[in-house]
Amino acid sequence: MTVRINPSILSADFVNMQTELDRVATADLVHVDVMDNHFVPNLTFGPQMVQRIQDVSPIPLDVHLMITDADRWAPGYAELGAASVTFHAEAAEDPVKLARRLREIGARAGIALKPGTDVEPYLELLPELDQLLIMTVEPGFGGQAFMADMMPKLRRAREVVEREQLAVWLQVDGGITADTITVAADAGADTFVAGSSVYNSGDPTENIAALRAAAEA
Protein backbone atom coordinates (compact mmCIF):
# COMPACT_ATOMS: atom_id res chain seq x y z
CA MET A 1 0.00 0.00 0.00
CA THR A 2 1.30 3.46 -0.89
CA VAL A 3 1.66 5.59 2.22
CA ARG A 4 1.14 9.36 2.06
CA ILE A 5 2.22 11.78 4.77
CA ASN A 6 0.44 15.15 4.72
CA PRO A 7 1.83 17.66 7.25
CA SER A 8 -0.73 20.10 8.60
CA ILE A 9 0.33 23.73 8.51
CA LEU A 10 -2.08 24.43 11.36
CA SER A 11 0.98 23.74 13.54
CA ALA A 12 3.28 25.93 11.41
CA ASP A 13 4.40 29.48 12.13
CA PHE A 14 1.86 31.50 10.14
CA VAL A 15 4.10 34.54 9.64
CA ASN A 16 6.84 32.42 8.09
CA MET A 17 4.65 30.32 5.83
CA GLN A 18 7.09 30.10 2.91
CA THR A 19 9.82 28.66 5.16
CA GLU A 20 7.33 26.40 6.90
CA LEU A 21 6.15 25.01 3.54
CA ASP A 22 9.73 24.45 2.38
CA ARG A 23 10.46 22.52 5.59
CA VAL A 24 7.93 19.85 4.62
CA ALA A 25 8.88 19.52 0.94
CA THR A 26 9.67 15.79 1.38
CA ALA A 27 6.05 15.07 2.28
CA ASP A 28 3.34 14.11 -0.22
CA LEU A 29 0.81 16.92 0.11
CA VAL A 30 0.53 19.83 2.50
CA HIS A 31 -2.66 19.74 4.57
CA VAL A 32 -4.41 23.11 4.81
CA ASP A 33 -7.08 23.45 7.53
CA VAL A 34 -9.72 26.04 6.67
CA MET A 35 -11.88 26.89 9.71
CA ASP A 36 -14.73 29.40 9.93
CA ASN A 37 -15.55 29.63 13.65
CA HIS A 38 -19.01 28.23 12.86
CA PHE A 39 -18.48 24.61 11.93
CA VAL A 40 -15.65 24.48 14.49
CA PRO A 41 -14.80 26.85 17.35
CA ASN A 42 -11.65 28.13 15.68
CA LEU A 43 -10.73 30.42 12.81
CA THR A 44 -7.83 30.10 10.39
CA PHE A 45 -7.77 31.44 6.83
CA GLY A 46 -9.80 31.63 3.65
CA PRO A 47 -9.38 31.46 -0.11
CA GLN A 48 -6.99 34.41 -0.45
CA MET A 49 -4.44 32.92 1.93
CA VAL A 50 -4.84 29.45 0.44
CA GLN A 51 -4.27 30.93 -3.02
CA ARG A 52 -0.89 32.31 -1.90
CA ILE A 53 0.03 29.03 -0.24
CA GLN A 54 -0.83 27.30 -3.52
CA ASP A 55 1.36 29.77 -5.42
CA VAL A 56 4.48 29.09 -3.34
CA SER A 57 4.13 25.54 -1.97
CA PRO A 58 6.72 23.02 -3.22
CA ILE A 59 4.14 20.21 -2.93
CA PRO A 60 0.41 20.00 -3.81
CA LEU A 61 -2.32 21.14 -1.44
CA ASP A 62 -4.72 18.91 0.48
CA VAL A 63 -7.42 21.33 1.62
CA HIS A 64 -9.59 20.31 4.61
CA LEU A 65 -12.65 22.53 4.90
CA MET A 66 -14.09 22.79 8.41
CA ILE A 67 -16.75 25.28 7.37
CA THR A 68 -20.52 25.44 7.10
CA ASP A 69 -22.04 25.94 3.66
CA ALA A 70 -19.45 23.75 1.97
CA ASP A 71 -21.58 23.61 -1.19
CA ARG A 72 -20.97 27.31 -1.72
CA TRP A 73 -17.29 27.56 -0.81
CA ALA A 74 -15.59 24.30 -1.73
CA PRO A 75 -15.48 24.76 -5.54
CA GLY A 76 -13.39 27.93 -5.15
CA TYR A 77 -10.58 25.92 -3.53
CA ALA A 78 -10.61 23.48 -6.44
CA GLU A 79 -10.53 26.41 -8.86
CA LEU A 80 -7.45 27.94 -7.23
CA GLY A 81 -5.60 24.70 -7.92
CA ALA A 82 -5.76 22.59 -4.74
CA ALA A 83 -4.97 18.95 -5.56
CA SER A 84 -7.66 17.76 -3.19
CA VAL A 85 -10.60 19.40 -1.47
CA THR A 86 -12.26 17.64 1.46
CA PHE A 87 -15.50 18.96 2.95
CA HIS A 88 -17.41 17.69 5.98
CA ALA A 89 -20.40 15.48 5.27
CA GLU A 90 -22.14 17.22 8.18
CA ALA A 91 -21.79 20.61 6.42
CA ALA A 92 -22.90 19.83 2.87
CA GLU A 93 -26.45 19.95 1.51
CA ASP A 94 -25.70 17.62 -1.38
CA PRO A 95 -22.39 15.76 -0.94
CA VAL A 96 -22.63 13.82 -4.20
CA LYS A 97 -23.35 16.89 -6.30
CA LEU A 98 -20.51 18.77 -4.60
CA ALA A 99 -18.03 15.90 -5.04
CA ARG A 100 -18.93 15.73 -8.74
CA ARG A 101 -18.41 19.47 -9.10
CA LEU A 102 -14.96 19.27 -7.44
CA ARG A 103 -13.90 16.46 -9.76
CA GLU A 104 -15.20 18.35 -12.78
CA ILE A 105 -12.97 21.29 -11.85
CA GLY A 106 -10.04 18.90 -11.59
CA ALA A 107 -9.52 18.36 -7.86
CA ARG A 108 -9.66 15.12 -5.94
CA ALA A 109 -12.91 15.11 -3.97
CA GLY A 110 -13.03 14.11 -0.32
CA ILE A 111 -15.60 13.78 2.43
CA ALA A 112 -14.64 14.11 6.11
CA LEU A 113 -16.52 12.59 9.04
CA LYS A 114 -16.43 13.96 12.59
CA PRO A 115 -15.91 11.40 15.38
CA GLY A 116 -19.65 11.33 16.13
CA THR A 117 -20.68 10.66 12.52
CA ASP A 118 -21.37 7.08 11.48
CA VAL A 119 -19.49 5.87 8.41
CA GLU A 120 -22.19 3.43 7.21
CA PRO A 121 -24.43 5.91 5.33
CA TYR A 122 -21.40 7.21 3.40
CA LEU A 123 -19.94 3.91 2.25
CA GLU A 124 -22.20 3.83 -0.81
CA LEU A 125 -20.80 7.24 -1.79
CA LEU A 126 -17.24 5.95 -2.04
CA PRO A 127 -17.33 5.52 -5.85
CA GLU A 128 -18.07 9.27 -6.08
CA LEU A 129 -14.98 10.11 -4.01
CA ASP A 130 -11.20 10.16 -4.27
CA GLN A 131 -10.65 10.18 -0.53
CA LEU A 132 -12.48 9.66 2.74
CA LEU A 133 -11.22 11.39 5.87
CA ILE A 134 -11.96 9.77 9.21
CA MET A 135 -11.31 12.36 11.92
CA THR A 136 -9.44 10.92 14.89
CA VAL A 137 -10.00 14.04 17.03
CA GLU A 138 -12.84 16.55 17.26
CA PRO A 139 -12.02 18.99 14.46
CA GLY A 140 -10.85 22.46 15.45
CA PHE A 141 -7.44 22.24 17.05
CA GLY A 142 -4.05 20.60 16.68
CA GLY A 143 -2.33 18.73 19.49
CA GLN A 144 -5.25 16.60 20.69
CA ALA A 145 -5.11 12.90 21.58
CA PHE A 146 -5.72 10.24 18.91
CA MET A 147 -9.10 8.49 19.23
CA ALA A 148 -8.38 4.79 18.70
CA ASP A 149 -12.11 4.08 18.89
CA MET A 150 -12.44 5.47 15.34
CA MET A 151 -10.59 2.44 13.93
CA PRO A 152 -13.73 0.35 13.27
CA LYS A 153 -14.86 3.09 10.84
CA LEU A 154 -11.59 2.80 8.95
CA ARG A 155 -11.82 -0.97 8.85
CA ARG A 156 -15.32 -0.79 7.39
CA ALA A 157 -14.23 1.70 4.74
CA ARG A 158 -11.15 -0.39 3.88
CA GLU A 159 -13.35 -3.49 3.51
CA VAL A 160 -15.58 -1.71 0.98
CA VAL A 161 -12.65 -0.15 -0.91
CA GLU A 162 -11.03 -3.59 -1.28
CA ARG A 163 -14.23 -5.43 -2.11
CA GLU A 164 -15.22 -2.95 -4.79
CA GLN A 165 -11.63 -2.33 -5.91
CA LEU A 166 -11.95 1.41 -5.53
CA ALA A 167 -9.00 3.80 -5.80
CA VAL A 168 -10.15 5.82 -2.77
CA TRP A 169 -7.50 7.05 -0.32
CA LEU A 170 -8.41 6.52 3.33
CA GLN A 171 -7.15 9.41 5.39
CA VAL A 172 -6.83 10.00 9.13
CA ASP A 173 -6.38 13.36 10.81
CA GLY A 174 -5.77 14.10 14.47
CA GLY A 175 -3.24 12.90 17.01
CA ILE A 176 -1.05 11.08 14.47
CA THR A 177 2.42 10.33 15.87
CA ALA A 178 5.04 7.67 15.10
CA ASP A 179 3.14 5.47 17.61
CA THR A 180 -0.48 6.04 16.65
CA ILE A 181 0.24 5.93 12.92
CA THR A 182 0.81 2.18 13.13
CA VAL A 183 -2.62 1.72 14.72
CA ALA A 184 -4.27 3.71 11.91
CA ALA A 185 -2.25 1.92 9.21
CA ASP A 186 -3.27 -1.47 10.66
CA ALA A 187 -6.91 -0.39 10.47
CA GLY A 188 -6.54 0.45 6.78
CA ALA A 189 -5.51 4.10 6.52
CA ASP A 190 -3.03 5.00 3.77
CA THR A 191 -2.96 8.81 4.04
CA PHE A 192 -1.89 10.44 7.28
CA VAL A 193 -2.25 14.05 8.38
CA ALA A 194 0.15 15.16 11.10
CA GLY A 195 0.50 18.64 12.53
CA SER A 196 2.16 18.82 15.91
CA SER A 197 4.23 15.65 15.43
CA VAL A 198 5.81 17.16 12.30
CA TYR A 199 6.30 20.78 13.36
CA ASN A 200 6.40 21.01 17.13
CA SER A 201 9.67 19.28 17.95
CA GLY A 202 12.82 18.25 16.15
CA ASP A 203 13.29 18.47 12.40
CA PRO A 204 10.21 18.23 10.12
CA THR A 205 12.11 16.27 7.45
CA GLU A 206 13.19 13.67 10.01
CA ASN A 207 9.73 13.60 11.56
CA ILE A 208 8.14 12.97 8.16
CA ALA A 209 10.64 10.15 7.47
CA ALA A 210 9.92 8.58 10.87
CA LEU A 211 6.16 8.71 10.30
CA ARG A 212 6.56 7.19 6.84
CA ALA A 213 8.81 4.39 8.13
CA ALA A 214 6.38 3.59 10.95
CA ALA A 215 3.37 3.50 8.59
CA GLU A 216 5.19 1.27 6.10
CA ALA A 217 6.49 -1.16 8.75
The verdict on whether residue 173 carries a ligand-binding annotation is yes
Task: Work out whether 187 is an interface residue with ligand DX5 (CB under 6 A).
Answer: no
Q: Is 140 in the site for ligand DX5 (CB under 6 A)?
A: yes
- Dist CA 70 CA 165 (whole Å): 28
- Least distance to ligand DX5, CB of residue 195, Å: 3
Of the residues 20, 28, 33, 190, which one makes contact with Zn ion according to CB under 5 A = 33
* 180 forms part of the interface with ligand DX5 (CB under 6 A): no
Closest distance to ligand DX5 from the beta carbon of 162 (Å): 26
**The three-state (H, E, C) secondary structure of the chain, written as one string:** CCCEEEEEHHHCCHHHHHHHHHCCCCCCCEEEEEEECCCCCCECCCHHHHHHHHHHCCCCEEEEEECCCHHHHHHHHHHCCCCEEEEEHHHCCCHHHHHHHHHHHCCEEEEEECCCCCCHHHHCCHHHCCEEEEECCCCCCCCCCCCHHHHHHHHHHHHHHHHCCCCCEEEEECCCCCCHHHHHHHCCCCEEEECHHHHCCCCHHHHHHHHHHHHHC
Considering the complex, what minimum distance in angstroms separates the CB of residue 127 from ligand DX5? 25
Among 64, 108, 114, 158, binds ligand DX5 (CB under 6 A): 64
Toward ligand DX5, which CB reaches closer, 57 or 197? 197
Q: Which is nearer to ligand DX5, 95 or 139 (CB)?
A: 139
Q: Binding pattern to Zn ion, positions 172-211, x when CB under 5 A?
A: -x--------------------------------------
Note the residues at the interface with ligand DX5 (CB under 6 A). Answer: 8, 10-11, 31, 33, 64, 137, 139-144, 173-176, 193-197
